[in-house]
Structure 1
């Protein structure tokens, strides 16, 4: 009987996750409307979602604590962190502009639910 060891999972760059988190922030700002904007964090690893009047500044990032990273929004004025519940989000990572727009719309709904 022959046994083979499966090859380690090693997707090519950009195939598993096509967009950095800063793109999620930009899609969210677009969905929130003309009074919102976004900025990229270091290497796109996080993004800021901000109001154009500076009233609200949210950092979108993945929390590395625990066994699985969680998508988080941090209110930079208060330091409060909000876990983005997975049921608020599409089922898989976006690979097309339309899928990214859908992510932005769902994240915008979550921001609205926070009353910011």
Structure 2
């Protein structure tokens, strides 16, 4: 008789693993960027748009499904893609409004660094 146990499959309750959809990250970034910036949600919040109200800049914030789940920004005018640095952010997805604001601030700083 084997004493090996099979672990139960990981099955978190809805909303406990990822409290905020990616569109919330985009909205937090637009708030951090300030006046002249806005954001929109995609279907089910799976990605978000960050854009200037004069349509000069339009960016899609998403997670790269082909790699290890990197946070990415795509310039919707040129198609250029950029890896958003997240090394200095807390481990794991944000779980509180303050943590979401921290992620939004980081995305906003990166957007500004692109000089678009």
TM-score normalised by the chain length of structure 2: 0.93
Note the 1:62-101 alignment, pairs <5 A: 62-66=63-67, 68-101=68-101
Instruction: Give the aligned CA root-mean-square deviation in angstroms.
Output: 1.3
CA distance, structure 2, for counterparts of residue 61 and residue 35 of structure 1: 22
Cα 1:62/1:74, change in 2 over 3 Å: same
Distance 2:86 2:103 in 1: 11
CA deviation profile, 1:48-95 (whole Å, cap 9, x unmatched): 0000111100000111113x1211100011110001123253322111
> Following superposition, which runs of at least 4 residues in structure 1 exceed 3 angstroms of deviation?
none
C-alpha contact 1:27 1:104 (8 A) present in aligned 2: yes
Tell me whether 1:11 sits opposite 2:12 in the alignment: yes
**What count of residue pairs does the alignment treat as equivalent?**
115
- 5+ long unaligned stretches in structure 2: none
Number of the residue aligned with 2:31: 30
